[in-house]
Structure 1
Amino acid sequence: MSRTVAGFDRLVVFVLGLVLVVGGAATGAWALNLLDDVGLPASSVPQQISTGPVTDAAGQPWWAYATAAGAVVLGLLGLWWLLAHIPHRGADALRLPGSSAAGALALDGDAAVAVAAQVIAEVPGVRSASGRMVSERGQLIAEMNVVADPEVDLVELDAAVVEVSRDLATVLSRSDVRGRVHVSIARSSKGLARVA
């Protein structure tokens, strides 16, 4: 969810809350005959509420078109609101140091992390490795997923992960990128051919 959508949500909740509090207080003051105490003379406030204007409007020929148009607008607004709240974990191109008003240096973070994962995939006992750059709560994370055989040498795998992470940090040249490596150990070994 972007900051714009979060700001819009907060504004809408604040306005709705304010309307409900003021409306509830006004209704309570009206029901308890306390409007004179807040500076509104009783003669300026109706003693009964009539729904006649609403029922008269509902009988007009334009009413069906107006309600249909309102339903379409509210439906589109609701659809936009739902789509705006779909989590987007992907990261945009990374702006590198050295960028200025004259020009920007950018790097595809997904490609850099995918290459780092390919290096880890070459470690003996690693079945597969993949990687991508994600954004979580405003934090950039180089995320790699590794699947290894049960016989993998974990010390060697750890050393490879540390070295690749160091190289990736050098390539990205950004101190705000964090790393996360998920290592999954397969339940069984890959079937190796037996030699008789």
Structure 2
Amino acid sequence: MSRGTLALDRVMTALAGLVLVALGVLGILWWAGRLGSVPDHVDLSGIRWWPRQQWWPWALGVGGVILALLGLRWLLAHLPRRGISVLSLPGSDPEGRLLVAAGPVIDAAADALARTPGVRSARGRVNHDRGRIVAHFDATIERGADLRTVADAADTVTGELQAALERQDLTGLVQLRTAGRNRAMPRVY
């Protein structure tokens, strides 16, 4: 989800809250008779003829379609974004761009992390997060894994990824999960 979507959600939530509080206060003041010149009853005779008009069903239909499209757009804005598929390398200029497919590069880095003693498996993806490029690794470790070794391997893999892509703005994020059971190790006879 983008920062713009989050900001819009917060603004609209605050606005809806303020409108509902204001309507509640106005309702209480109207019920208590403290609004002065506001009538005790609401007269809707001026708009009663709307539902009998030929344009009314069309207006409701168009309004419903517009609201449905806005709701669909809002829902789509909240879908998780896919990772970065192509990274631009330094040296790109108006005469040409140097691009690299992010998938094979991050897969190779995840494989390097998975070869660390105590790491059962690792997967990786590259995402944009708050204006930065983040190499996100999900690693499953054995229960007895040495966390210092795993952390050093993660730092090494991230450093090698930064060097290979020549991107100092790349940040590594490693999420560790502990395996449910330790794997049975092969026996040597």
Question: Same fold by TM-score, threshold 0.5 exceeded?
Answer: yes
CA pair 174-192 structure 1, distance change in 2 beyond 3 A = closer
- C-alpha displacement of 1:7: 7.3
Q: 1:91 aligns with which of 84, 87, 93?
A: 84
Q: TM-score, normalised by structure 2?
A: 0.71
Q: Name the structure 1 match of 2:175.
A: 182
Does structure 2 conserve the Cα–Cα contact (< 8 Å) formed by 1:111 and 1:132? no
| Runs (5+) with no aligned partner, structure 2 | 21-29
- Identity over aligned pairs, percent: 35
Quote the Cα distance in structure 2 between the aligned partners of 1:106 and 1:178.
19
Offset of residue 8 of structure 1: 6.4
Deviation digits for residues 111-162 of structure 1 (CA, Å, limit 9, x no counterpart): 3222101012122332111111122233321111222223445454344323
State the SS of the aligned residue for 1:134. Answer: strand
> What amino acid is the match of 2:114?
A
Aligned residues: 182
Aligned mates of 2:89, 2:100 — CA distance in 1: 7
CA deviations over 1:18-54 (Å, ceiling 9, x no partner):
x99xxxxxxx9xx656xxxxxxxxxxxxxx9853342
Give the SS at the match of 2:48: helix
Change (3 A) 1:96 1:194: closer
Instruction: Give the C-alpha shift of residue 12 in structure 1.
Output: 7.1
1:140 aligned partner: 133
Larger Rg: 1
RMSD: 3.8
1:91–1:134: 8 Å Cα contact kept in structure 2? yes
Residue identity matched to 2:119: V
User: Are residues 189 and 3 of structure 1, via their aligned partners in 2, closer, same or farther at CA, if it must alter by over 3 Å?
Assistant: closer
d(CA) in 2 for partners of 1:100 and 1:110? 23
Equivalent of residue 104 in structure 1, options 97, 100, 120? 97
